[in-house]
Chain A
Amino acid sequence: MTKDTIFSNLEYATRFLNSCYYFLPYAFPTTDGGGPVYRSKIGMDVIEAMTDLSQCDLGWAGLQTYTYQGQVSPTAANYINGYSGIPYGFTDEGTWMGIRNCFIFLENINKVPNVDPAYLKRIKAEAWSIIAIEHYDMFRHFGGLPWINHAFKPSEDLSKFPRLTAQAYCDSIVAVIDKYAGDLPWTVSPSEEGRLTQAGMLAIKARLLLFNASPLFNDAAPYLDGDASQQKLVWHGGYDKNLWKRAADAAHDLIVKVEATNDYHFYHKAGNTYRQDFQQGYSQRGSSEILISTRTEYFRATWAWAGYQFDLMAAIFGANNPTDDYVKMFQMTNGKSITDPASGYDPTNPYINRDPRLYESVLVNGDAYQGRTAELYIGGRERLTDGQDQNKEGYQLRKFINDADWATMMDRIVQFPLIRLEEVYLTYAEADNEFNGGPSAEDYRCINLVRARVGMPPVPAGLTQIEFREAILLERAVEFYQEEVRWNDLTRWKRENDLTKPLHGMNIYQSETDPTKFTYVTSLVNPRYWATNWSPKWYLSCFPQDEMNKNYGLVQNPGW
C-alpha cells in the first residue's frame, strides 16, 4: 500500500493517525528487550528502578547488568546486547518516528476528500499534540533538541537544524499546545476515550513548564559545565523566578476550567474505600481523573504476549522491587511521618495504620493478597528464599498488577496514565510556593485536596517554602509510584542525595513458635555505580556516539 492509497479515504487516514498515537510514551516494558523496541523505555525495566523507590534485582535485565554497573556511555547508549542501558535512548524510543508520522499525516490529510471541516481541524490538532508530547518527553531527558517541522527527507541538510536552547525548545512546544489545544474537544465520549483532549494538553503544558522552571535548567549556575551548558541547551543561563509563575499560571488555568465543569474530578465511586478509589482512579480506562492515558494491547492468554506486554512478568522476575526506603515514606493515617515519635509507628508491626496508598502501591507482608495474606517473609510463598530475585527487597510491586493473578490479568485492558488531575494541583502548589517564597492558602488547598481523596489529614499549617516543597515532593512520590514522576522530580531538583543515598530492603523472618509473629530486619541494597561515583551528568541522558559521528553538529550533554 502506498501513501496515495492511505490518504485517499478517511478510514485509512484514521488508521494512520492511530499509528501516530502508538508512539506516545508508555512506561512499562512491552517486550523482554530483544533489541530496540519502540516505546519500551529501558528494556525489561522501568525508569522507577533508576530512583530510590524501586530496585531492579533481575540479573539479566539492562539496569542490573549495565546501568547499575556504570556502563552507560555514549558508545553504549543504544541497546547493549539487546538490553537498554539508559533512561532514554535517543535512537531507540521511536519518538522521532512518531513525530515523522504526524508530519506525514499533517502534510497529506488535506488530500482526503469529504472530511467534515470541524473533524479535520480536530484530527490535525491531535497530530500536532502528539508531536508536542513526543518533544516534551525528550525535553526532560535531553534539554533542547533539533526542532524538525516537517517530514524530513534523507537529502536534506540536517546541520540547518541544530539543537535549540532549552528555553526556545520549551517555548516551541508550548506554542504548539497554545495553537492547537483549543481545536481539541474538552472531553471525549467513552468510545473515543484515549484520544487527546484540550484538558490533557493543558496538563502537559503545566508539567513541561514546571520542569522548565525547575533548578536543573533554571539556576544561577548550570548543573554541570560543558559546551551544551555554555550554549544554553541544558541551562537557561541564570535564575528566572518568573518561569515558576508561568508554570503556576498554566496549572491554575486548567484548575479553574476543571472546577468550572464537572467533567474531570478525582475519582470516587459510592461505597468505595479510599484504597479502591485510589486504585480504580489510576487504572480504569475512562477514570474521571485521568487527563491522558496511553495504551498497549490488553493481556492475551498466551505467554509471549501476556507476559511481556506489561510489567507483571518483569516484576515477578525481580525487575521492579519496591525498596524499604519507599515504604518508609508513607505516613501514618494521622498524617505524621513514621520518624515522628508521636506518630504511633510500631517497628515490630510496621504496616498498620499507614497512608492507604501504601497498600495499593506496594504489597506488604500480611496484607490481603490473592484471597489470602501476603507471605513476604523469607520462606513465605512470595519469597521462597532470601536469594531469589523476585521480591528480593521484601516487598512486591502492587500498583498496576494488583494481585498479580494470572487469571484476572488475562484479557484485562491496560493503560498507562500519562498524566492525572492530582498532578496538576500539586504542580500549581509547587510552582506557586516557589514563586511566592512560601505556600499560599490556595497552595494548601491544592495539596490537601489530593490527600483528602485518600482520607489523609491536611499537611501542617505554617510550613516554610522549603518544608512545603518537601511535602509536595513526598506527596508526588507516594501518589505517582510507577507513573514516571519520581525520576524527573529527582533530576529537576538535582536531588543528588536521593540518588546516592544507601537503599534498603527488608528481611522478614517468621517466628518459629508463633506464625503470626515476625521479625523485621532491614538489609542493604548493593550500591549503584553512581552512588559512589556521582556525577551530575546522570541528570540528563547522553546521545549515542553513532549519532554524534554523523557530524551534523549535535552537541553532547555535559559530562558524557
Chain B
Amino acid sequence: MVKINCTSYNNLKTKKMRNKYSKKYIYLWFLLLMLSLPGLAQQKVFTGSVNDNNGRPIANALVTIKELSGTIVFTDNEGKFSITGETDQILEVKTRDNRYKSLRITGDQIAVTIGDNDELISIGNRMELRKGEITSAIGFTKADELSKSSVMNPANALYGKIPGLTILQNGGTNWNNDPTMFIRGVETFGSGAIVNTNILVMVDGFERPISSLSMAEIESVAVLKDAAALAMYGMRGANGVLLVTTKRGTGTGLSVDVNYERGVTKAFRLPNFLNSYNYATAVNQARLNDGLDARYSQPELNRFQSGNSPFLYPNVNWIDQGLRDYGFTDKFNVSFQQQTSSVRYYTLLNFDNEQGLLGPVKLNQGYDTQVKSHNFSFRTNLEFDITNTTKVTANVAGSLGEAQRPGSSYSSENDIISAIYNTPSSAFPVWTHNPENRLTKNFGGTSTWPNNPVALISANGFTLEGKREVMTDFLLEQQLDKLLSGLTIEAGVSFDRSFIYQDSKSKTVLYETLSPVLDPTTHDIVDSTSQIYGSNTALSFNTSVPTFRRRITLVGNLKYSKEWGDNELKSILLFQSEELAMTGQNNTYRHLLTAANVHYGKSDKYFADLSLSYSGTNILPKNSRYGFFPALSFAWKLSNEDFLKGNTIFDDLKLRASWGMTGNDQVIQNIAVSPYVGSSNYYFSTNNTTNWGMREGRLASSPLTYETSYKTNIGIDASLFKMLDLTIDGFYDKRKGILVQTAGLESVVLGVLTPYSSTGIVSNKGIELGLNLHKSTGDLLYHLGGQFSYAHNKILNMEESYQPYDYLKRTGQSINQAFGLEAIGFFANDADIAASPKQTFSPVRPGDVKYKDQNGDGIINAFDQVPIGHSTQCPEIYYSGSIGAEFKGVGIDAVFQGISNKTTYLNTPGIFWPLVSNTNISTYSDNAWTPATAATATLPRLTMSSNANNYQPNSIWLVDGSYLKLRSVELYYNLPGKLVSKMKLQAVMVYLRGMNLFSIDKIKYVDPEAIGIVYPTVSSYNVGIQIRF
C-alpha cells in the first residue's frame, strides 16, 4: 500500500516538474520567437467584424493571427473583435460551426465575410478542404440536424439526412438494432456467408462502428460517394465511406451543456390476431377447404365465444398478456468544453436507459425479466498546442453497457415474440387450474404449442449481456515550416477494444395440458384430463464471452500546402496500417494503405484533384493482395467567373466531374488454394476408436482478386436567390471482380465443391438531389428541405447456370430482384382446375392460387417464375423532406422519409401465411377465399396444410414495399435571452419530440421495414430539456 502511494506521489512530482519544465520550454520558445521578429515595435490593435454572406454578425468566432500563436480572441454578439498584431500578418477566423477564412491584414479596420463555402469539410484521410473548393461528391450533415432525433444508436438519426445514403431500419431492441446502410445502393452481391455490401465507417479518421457512439458527441457526418473521394481508401472504398467527426472543444469560456430526456416508447405496429372463437371458426373453414371435417363443434365454438370455460376453451390475447403498452427511455448527458490559447477540450458523460415492452416481468421474487439496457458512455477529446508548431490530439471514449432479456443465452427476444404471435388465442390458458386440486396453478401449454409466452417471459430466467468498449487515439502534428514553408508531419495511433460477455441464468418450468372429455353425441363436457410435462428446475448458470474485438491503427502523413499568386496547392502523402482481431478462427484482418492526393486551385475558379492509392489486404493471397487505385476530379466555380459576377440568380455555382477506381476486399478468405482438411472421420474396429479423416476441400479459386469499382460522377452545387441550396449528382459505376459461384456451371459428378470465380460484373447508375430552402423574415425563420436518391443496379455477369427461358435469367436483373409466379386468380371449382395448366407444387383445390403459364407448356412449375417488382434488398428510390419554422424562440421541425422501388416478400407464417405449421392467423387473412367470397377475395383459401402451391413466391406475397414515414417531429421553445441570463445561464431549450410516428404504406399490418417475427420497432414520444451554462 505504502509503496503504491509513494509511487503515485513520485508520479505526481515528476508530472508537476514536467509541467514546469514544459512551461519554461514554452516561455523560451516565445522569447526566441519574439526576438526573431524584427518589427516588434510596429504592433498595434486592429478592430474588425465577422459577418456571414447575408450580413448577419457571427458571434463567438475564434480570431487568431497565424504568426502569433497564443493570441486568441472571440467575436462578441455583434460579431466585433479587436486584436493586437501587425500589418501584413495573416488573420485567421474560425466560426463555431467550422467555417474558416484567412486573410492578410492591410488596413486598421478588418471586415471578414464568411459564407457557407468557407466551411471546412473533412473529406477523409485527414484532409480538410473548404466547401467551395471540393471537387468530389460528398454529402454531409451536422450536429444541429442530427440532434433533433431521440435515438440510442446514432445511425438511426441518419434517415433521409444525406443524399445517397440509404438507411433501412431493422427490428429488434435498441441494444442491437443497427440499421442497414448502403451508399448509392448496392453494386455487389455476397457469395456464401459473406455480406460484402458493408460500407466503411470512420470515426475521427479511424474505423469504428457508429453504434459505439452516442448522438450527443457527434459533430458532423459526411458520406463519400465518388471515386475522387474514395480512391484514397484503396481496397476499402468501393461501397462508400461514412465519416463521423466528434465534437472538439470550442468557445470563449467553459461551457457546460446538460440534456435530459424522458421518452415513452410504443410498438410501431402490432399485428392483430383472431380471438379464439374466430380462430376456431377459421380452423373449421380451413379444414372444410381441405376436404376434412370441422375440428370444433358448434357447442365448442359457443364455449370459445361465451368464455364460460376459460380453462378448457380459453380466449387469450397473447399480445395483451405478453406485451405492455409502453416502454420507457431516459437519456441524460452533460458535456464540458472550452478553448484556451493552448488547450481545447470536450468532455461528455452520457447515460442511456431503456425499459422494454414485455408485460409480465415481475412474477419472480427478487428480479424482473424485462428487456432492458443501460449504457454509460464517455468521451474526452483533448488538443494541446505544445509549442506553436506542435499539436497533440488525444481522444478517449468508451462505454459500459448492460442489456437484459428473458430466457437463456440460446434464446432471444425474437423467440418470445414468436411465441406471442404464433400461439393461437385458443391454444391454452395462461395458467391452468386443475379442477381436482385447485391449489396447483401451472402454466398452460400443449405438445403443439409448448411455449407459453408468459412462461417464456417470466419463468425461464434471464440473460445479461455486458458490453465494454474503449476507443483511444493519439495524434502528434508538427509543422516543419523551418524545413519547408507549408510542410507538416503528423503521426498517430489508435487502439480500440471491445468485448461482450454473457451471463445466462435460465430454468425450465412445468406445463399442463387440460383437455375436455366430451360426450360424443351432445358434445357436453363430461370430464377433463390433465397431462403434465416438462419440469420446474432451479436457475442454472452459464457464462460466455461471445464477442471480442480489437483494432489497432497506425497512421502517418506528410502535408504540404503552398499559395503563390492566385494558385493554391494542397497535398498529402499518407500511410496507414491497421489490424482488426476478433473472436474465432481466421478472424484477423490487416490492411495497408499508401495514398497521395494533390489538390490544386486557380483563381478560386478552377480546381483539380489527383488521388492515388496503393492498398493491400491480408484477406487475399500473397500474389494478389495489393491494388492501385487512381482518381481524377475537377471543379469549375462558374459563380466566380466575370460573366456571372453581379447576376441576381446564382450566389454560387460549381460544376464537378470525377472519374476513378476504388476497391472492395470483403471477399471469402482462404479460397485461393484447395485445402485438404480434416473431416469425415471413420470408425473402424469393434470399439469406439475414431479414425481421423482428411479430404479435399473446395477447389482452388484462382485467380482471386478484390472487387474494383470504376466510378464516374458529375455534379452541380449551387446557391440561388440567397435562400436556396441545391446539389445534383449523377453517377455511373461499374463493379468488376465480384466473386461468384460456379456451381451452376459444373456438374455434381465433379464430386467436389466448385471454385468461386472473380468474374461477376454489376453496373450501377443513378442520381441524387439535395435541396434546401431557408429564409428569415423578421422574427420568422423557416426552412424547407428535400432529398432524392435513385440508384439502379444491373447484373452484367454472374456465371449464371443455363436457364431454359430468358425470363428466368438473373443476369440483366437487379441484385436480389424478386422472382415469383404470376397469380391470375383463384380456382373456382374442380372443373376450373381440370381445365387449367397442371400446377405441380402440391395438389390444388378450389380457392388455391391459379398461376399464369408463362412458357405455355401446360405445366406450372419453377420455370414459370418471372421477375416481379424490384429488388428485395435495397430500395432504388430513397427520399426525404424536412420542414421547420421558428418564431420568437418557438419552433417546429419535422422530417419525413420514404422509399420506393423495393419489393417485400410477405412470407411471415402466422401474420401473412395463416395457420401454416400450427401458426396463428391474423386479421390480414380476413379477405381469404371462401366459396361465398370467391368474387372479391384477395388471398387464397385458408388451409391447414403447408400448401406449397399457395405459398410459392408469387405476385400475392411479393408486394410493393414502399413507404413514407414521419421520422421525427419536434416542437421546441428557447427561453428568452433575458430570462436565461437572469438565471445565470446561457441558453435553455425545452422540447417535445416524436420519433417514427406513422407510416404510409401498403403493408399496413406491421412495420413495412420489419415484417418478420422480431421484437417490434417503436414509436417514441419524448420530452426533454437542454441547458447551457
Asked if A and B are interacting partners, one says yes
Q: Which of A1, A90, A99 contacts B694 (CB 8 A)?
A: A1
The answer, yes or no, to whether B863 is at the interface (CB within 8 Å) is: yes
CA distance A192 to B687 in the complex (A): 10
On whether the beta carbons of A15 and B683 are closer than 8 Å, the reply is: no
Q: Which of A22, A96, A101, A298 contacts B748 (CB 8 A)?
A: A96
When each residue 370-402 of chain A gets 1 if its CB lies under 8 Å from chain B and 0 otherwise, what string results? 000000000000001000100000000000000
The answer, yes or no, to whether B692 is at the interface (CB within 8 Å) is: yes
On whether the beta carbons of A69 and B842 are closer than 8 Å, the reply is: yes
Q: Closest residue to B697 on the A side, CB-wise?
A: A1
The answer, yes or no, to whether A469 is at the interface (CB within 8 Å) is: no
From 681 to 695 in chain B, residues with beta carbon under 8 angstroms from any chain A beta carbon are 681-695
When each residue 172-206 of chain A gets 1 if its CB lies under 8 Å from chain B and 0 otherwise, what string results? 00000000000000000011111100000000000
The answer, yes or no, to whether A286 is at the interface (CB within 8 Å) is: yes
The answer, yes or no, to whether B541 is at the interface (CB within 8 Å) is: no
On whether the beta carbons of A152 and B749 are closer than 8 Å, the reply is: yes
When each residue 983-1016 of chain B gets 1 if its CB lies under 8 Å from chain A and 0 otherwise, what string results? 0000000000000000000000000000000000
Instruction: Give B contacts to A, CB under 8 Å.
Output: 447, 531, 673-696, 699, 742, 744-752, 754-755, 801-804, 840-843, 861-863, 917, 945-946, 948
On whether the beta carbons of A19 and B694 are closer than 8 Å, the reply is: yes
Q: Which of B678, B747, B862 contacts A552 (CB 8 A)?
A: B747
A384: B residues at CB distance < 8 A: 531
Q: Closest residue to B946 on the A side, CB-wise?
A: A65
On whether the beta carbons of A547 and B747 are closer than 8 Å, the reply is: yes
Q: Closest residue to B945 on the A side, CB-wise?
A: A69
When each residue 67-81 of chain A gets 1 if its CB lies under 8 Å from chain B and 0 otherwise, what string results? 001110101100000
On whether the beta carbons of B749 and A101 are closer than 8 Å, the reply is: no
On whether the beta carbons of B693 and A100 are closer than 8 Å, the reply is: no
The answer, yes or no, to whether A493 is at the interface (CB within 8 Å) is: no
Q: Which of B694, B696, B744, B751 contacts A15 (CB 8 A)?
A: B694
B679: A residues at CB distance < 8 A: 19
16 contacts between A and B (CB under 8 A): A1-B675, A6-B676, A15-B692, A18-B693, A19-B695, A66-B948, A75-B861, A76-B841, A97-B752, A154-B699, A161-B749, A190-B685, A190-B686, A191-B685, A413-B688, A550-B745
CA distance A285 to B682 in the complex (A): 14
Q: Which of B684, B750, B801 contacts A152 (CB 8 A)?
A: B750
Query: Would you give the shortest CB distance from B231 to chain A, in whole angstroms?
Result: 35
A413: B residues at CB distance < 8 A: 683, 686-688
What are the nearest 10 A-B pairs in CB distance?
A100-B751, A19-B693, A22-B680, A96-B751, A19-B695, A19-B680, A295-B683, A286-B686, A18-B693, A194-B684
The answer, yes or no, to whether A296 is at the interface (CB within 8 Å) is: yes
The answer, yes or no, to whether A104 is at the interface (CB within 8 Å) is: yes
CA distance A90 to B863 in the complex (A): 20
The answer, yes or no, to whether A470 is at the interface (CB within 8 Å) is: no
Query: Would you give the shortest CB distance from A519 to chain B, in whole angstroms?
Result: 17
Query: Would you give the shortest CB distance from A72 to chain B, in whole angstroms?
Result: 10
On whether the beta carbons of A298 and B843 are closer than 8 Å, the reply is: no
On whether the beta carbons of B748 and A547 are closer than 8 Å, the reply is: yes
A3: B residues at CB distance < 8 A: 674, 676, 696
The answer, yes or no, to whether A2 is at the interface (CB within 8 Å) is: yes
CA distance A5 to B677 in the complex (A): 11
B674: A residues at CB distance < 8 A: 2-3
Q: Most A CB atoms within 10 A — which of B447, B694, B746, B755?
A: B694
Q: A60-B917, A154-B699, A545-B862 are in contact. Are A285 and B686 (CB under 8 A)?
A: yes
A15: B residues at CB distance < 8 A: 678, 691-694
B742: A residues at CB distance < 8 A: 154
Q: Name 8 extra pairs, CB < 8 A, besides A15-B678, A16-B676, A195-B684.
A: A16-B694, A59-B917, A69-B948, A71-B842, A90-B748, A97-B695, A550-B746, A552-B747
Q: Closest residue to A103 on the B side, CB-wise?
A: B751
On whether the beta carbons of A193 and B682 are closer than 8 Å, the reply is: no
Q: A3-B676, A69-B842, A549-B804 are in contact. Are A154 and B754 (CB under 8 A)?
A: yes
Query: Would you give the shortest CB distance from A281 to chain B, in whole angstroms?
Result: 14
On whether the beta carbons of B682 and A146 are closer than 8 Å, the reply is: no
On whether the beta carbons of B686 and A12 are closer than 8 Å, the reply is: no
On whether the beta carbons of A99 and B683 are closer than 8 Å, the reply is: no
On whether the beta carbons of A18 and B680 are closer than 8 Å, the reply is: yes
Size category of the binding interface on chain A = 35 or more
From 73 to 125 in chain A, residues with beta carbon under 8 angstroms from any chain B beta carbon are 73, 75-76, 90-91, 96-101, 104
From 1 to 41 in chain A, residues with beta carbon under 8 angstroms from any chain B beta carbon are 1-3, 5-6, 12, 14-16, 18-23
On whether the beta carbons of A550 and B801 are closer than 8 Å, the reply is: yes
CA distance A134 to B60 in the complex (A): 83
CA distance A6 to B447 in the complex (A): 51
Q: A75-B862, A96-B750, A154-B699 are in contact. Are A23 and B680 (CB under 8 A)?
A: yes
From 230 to 287 in chain A, residues with beta carbon under 8 angstroms from any chain B beta carbon are 284-286
Q: Closest residue to B683 on the A side, CB-wise?
A: A295
Query: Would you give the shortest CB distance from B223 to chain A, in whole angstroms?
Result: 38
Q: Most A CB atoms within 10 A — which of B676, B690, B946, B948?
A: B676
B694: A residues at CB distance < 8 A: 1, 6, 12, 15-16, 18-19
Q: Closest residue to A74 on the B side, CB-wise?
A: B861
Q: Most B CB atoms within 10 A — which of A1, A98, A411?
A: A1
CA distance A319 to B674 in the complex (A): 38
The answer, yes or no, to whether A551 is at the interface (CB within 8 Å) is: yes
CA distance A413 to B687 in the complex (A): 7
On whether the beta carbons of B693 and A2 are closer than 8 Å, the reply is: no
A97: B residues at CB distance < 8 A: 695, 751-752
Q: Most A CB atoms within 10 A — which of B689, B696, B843, B863?
A: B696
CA distance A30 to B51 in the complex (A): 77
On whether the beta carbons of A388 and B447 are closer than 8 Å, the reply is: yes
On whether the beta carbons of A154 and B746 are closer than 8 Å, the reply is: yes
A21: B residues at CB distance < 8 A: 682, 684, 693
On whether the beta carbons of A529 and B696 are closer than 8 Å, the reply is: no
On whether the beta carbons of B842 and A100 are closer than 8 Å, the reply is: no
The answer, yes or no, to whether A297 is at the interface (CB within 8 Å) is: yes
B745: A residues at CB distance < 8 A: 550
Query: Would you give the shortest CB distance from A180 to chain B, in whole angstroms?
Result: 19
CA distance A104 to B21 in the complex (A): 74
Q: A90-B748, A100-B696, A154-B699 are in contact. Are A19 and B682 (CB under 8 A)?
A: yes
From 46 to 74 in chain A, residues with beta carbon under 8 angstroms from any chain B beta carbon are 59-60, 65-66, 69-71, 73
B843: A residues at CB distance < 8 A: 69-70, 529
On whether the beta carbons of A101 and B751 are closer than 8 Å, the reply is: yes
From 524 to 547 in chain A, residues with beta carbon under 8 angstroms from any chain B beta carbon are 529, 545-547
A146: B residues at CB distance < 8 A: 749
A154: B residues at CB distance < 8 A: 699, 742, 746, 750, 754-755
